[in-house]
Amino acid sequence: MSDNPLLAPISSLIDYAAIRPEHIEAAIPALIDEARAAVELVAVSSEPPSWQTIVDPLEDASERLWRAWSVAGHLNGVLNTPEIRSAYNACLPAITAYSTWVGLHQGLYGQYRRLRDSADFAKLPPARQRIVELALRDFRLSGVELEGEARTRYTEISDLAAQVSQKFSENTLDAVDQWELLITDETKLEGIPADVVAAARTAAADSGREGWKLTLKMPCYLPVMQHARDRSVRQQLYRGYATIASEQGDTRYDNSGNIEQLLALRAEEAALLGFDSFADMRLETRMADSPAQVLEFLRKLAARAKPHGQRDLAELQAFAQEHLGIADMQPWDVAFVSERLREARYAYSEEDVRQYFTEERVLNGLFEVVGRLFGVSLHNIDASVWHEDVRVCDVRNEQGESLGTLYLDLYARQGKQSGAWVDSERARRRSASRLQTPVVYLTCNFSAPQGERPSLLTHDDVITLFHESGHALHALLSQVDDPAASPFASVEWDAIELPSQFMENFCWEWTVIQSLSAHVDTGEPLPRSLYDKMLAAKNYQSGMQMLRQVEFALFDMLIHHRNSGLSITEVLATLDEVRQEVAVLLPPSWHRFPHNFSHLFAGGYGAGYYSYKWAEVLSADAYAAFEEAVEVAGDGTRDTLDAATGRRFLEEILAVGGTRPAAESFKAFRGREPSLEALLRHSGMDEEIALH
């Protein structure tokens, strides 16, 4: 199909609007055949081993395939129609089989070994030497040294695991999309922000009904849980969200069997490759040395955070009883009580703040921050998109040269996976004739504009946008000319969150807040008095929040640090044990958090969720360099947008991608090993509280 947008030259942007599901089903098999042929040619070549005879031909053939598959996967996540899902699922087994086949290809493995052992290897630049060494490691982790039945079984496991992960993802999406609560009594909506109520009214009307349709999508769920005065409404939404894709909810989408199957397959894969557990296998490619080191790190954080979490909870319970008449605070009351206590203690609400963060103003402010730190600018361009809400930006350096293309898809909608993420369509690559620049997707699920009223972001939404922009910048500002050493290809997983978490810090700086905010009605920037209240509340409930993340990470590491799979009963028992150890707030027995934990079971975070906290240590310490570089003004303000430090961060962290170990990049930027102290200080936990 010469008119197939997915077969366009790698140098051109994809015509997203023209893609139809049949294009996916036609392009992927054709590109797999092309890539297989290239692999076979390289594998039997008797030419002297060199970068040009081994790596380049493989990159030429595979990058078109992976670009097309990235587009298919992206559309499956943001435009999940039955036809796109069907086309994606039809191609998934072939893609998995191809990946497994390459990883098990002994001839190709032999060529990489020949290259590593050749006299020319020492003449390669360090980045290319590292690519070859990492390729050899990945071959071994892909089972290339397996023989006979073990080799056959490894192939089966790879195929099954991919399909089960996809089914897990589909179940969570469908369970959220299908759930609704139709309200016909307007008094039950008391307290919910007006724009959320208006959106619920529109949603009901769109389905041909009177009333208000509440859903589990974040732009509806969170404000309802924070503001709905009707306790029964909060309870129904909480129960709906807590039982997504489980036997406690709509059983058509129950993920119990998928979780059991994935854990069994992962344990079996690790055993085949000679590892004690899936966690041990995963950490072969991480900064952390062992599961024991990770567990010790997490428990150390929990020990520091738990007294703060206990204090947070006690304050909530006392406030609920004294001021709200809630003597038996339940989990569905926590967000509501937290918001009332925040209002009482700091005299503002999230809803007050939200009026100042219009999408356009926040984006312009973000672009300004990026410009000052890294010397780049973002310019809106016309390009073909998959949905009318998507905007496209050309990222340029100070000389006006294009560094890459960024697609922004920011609003929640039906058929779009929840959450926020960044992915890459193609990586930077330099050849003799040209420079190919990266193409990156940044996806969020914010409230869409309502009529003439623009999209309003909570401060948490602003932080999310800055977080994802850090990931996007990592890919867009890379100066790595070989895709195999690009940030998303070879930076250790537990360091990949460093740039994203680093960017979050700027959302708390007064000078930045001024550039991000303009009241939706008056255009006035956020007042200093309100900012001071936000800053005072910055570490509000930080103990409970840190314990929640440690809980997820410990649960993840413990269920994957086993030499066999687990039944769903054992999975839930493990989670209960973790909660008894670190949590201060225990959910009901019917809560089914794992069934919606897509990071673990449909993303790349299995045995890796700890990386959020691991990287947070790195990011807090990296941001401390910006704090140290500025002088505080007489009124207590400071401007951490220090260009010189920003350029060093660009040169030592962002630009180098995976050309060297992340620990070396951090040390090059900071001049020393990372310290836990900056994270504790930023979280308001630099002073220890005694447990009681």
In what order do the strands lie in the sheet containing 391-396?
377-381, 391-396, 402-411, 439-446, 421-426
Spatial contact of 117 and 109, defined as CB atoms under 8 Å apart: no
For residue 409, the surrounding DSSP H or E stretch is strand 402-411
Pairwise CA distance, residues 156 & 136, whole Å: 22
Report angle CA 107, 110, 113 to the nearest 5 degrees.
Answer: 160
Question: Which one of the listed residues 63, 359, 425, 468 is annotated catalytic?
Answer: 468
Report angle CA 264, 606, 447 to the nearest 5 degrees.
Answer: 125
Could you count the other beta carbons within 10 Å of the beta carbon of residue 360? 11
Token pair in block for residue 96: 């998995």
Nearest to 254, CA basis, from 168, 143, 156: 168
DSSP 539-573: TTTHHHHHHHHHHHHHHHHHHHSSSS---HHHHHH
Pairwise CA distance, residues 663 & 376, whole Å: 26
Spatial contact of 219 and 445, defined as CB atoms under 8 Å apart: yes
Could you count the other beta carbons within 10 Å of the beta carbon of residue 594? 22
Nearest to 181, CA basis, from 214, 150, 205, 227: 214
Q: What is the bridge-based pairing of β-strands 429-430 and 212-214? A: unpaired
Q: What values do phi and psi take at 408, rounded to 5?
A: -110, 120
Nearest to 255, CA basis, from 580, 572, 586: 572
Reduced to 3 states (helix: H, G, I; strand: E, B; else coil), residue 425 is: strand
Spatial contact of 657 and 487, defined as CB atoms under 8 Å apart: yes
In SS3 terms, 18-37 reads as HCCHHHHHHHHHHHHHHHHH
452: annotated active-site residue: no
Residue 404 zone, left/alpha/beta (φ > 0; ψ -120 to 50; rest): left
Q: What is the bridge-based pairing of β-strands 402-411 and 391-396? A: antiparallel
Spatial contact of 556 and 609, defined as CB atoms under 8 Å apart: yes
Could you count the other beta carbons within 10 Å of the beta carbon of residue 60? 15
CA quadruple 647, 649, 654, 655: dihedral sign: positive
Could you tell me which residues come within 8 angstroms of residue 1 by beta carbon, excluding any fewer than 6 positions away? 7, 23, 26, 27
Residue 366 zone, left/alpha/beta (φ > 0; ψ -120 to 50; rest): alpha
Could you tell me which residues come within 8 angstroms of residue 102 by beta carbon, excluding any fewer than 6 positions away? 39, 108, 142
Could you count the other beta carbons within 10 Å of the beta carbon of residue 545? 16
Provide the annotated active-site residues.
Answer: 468
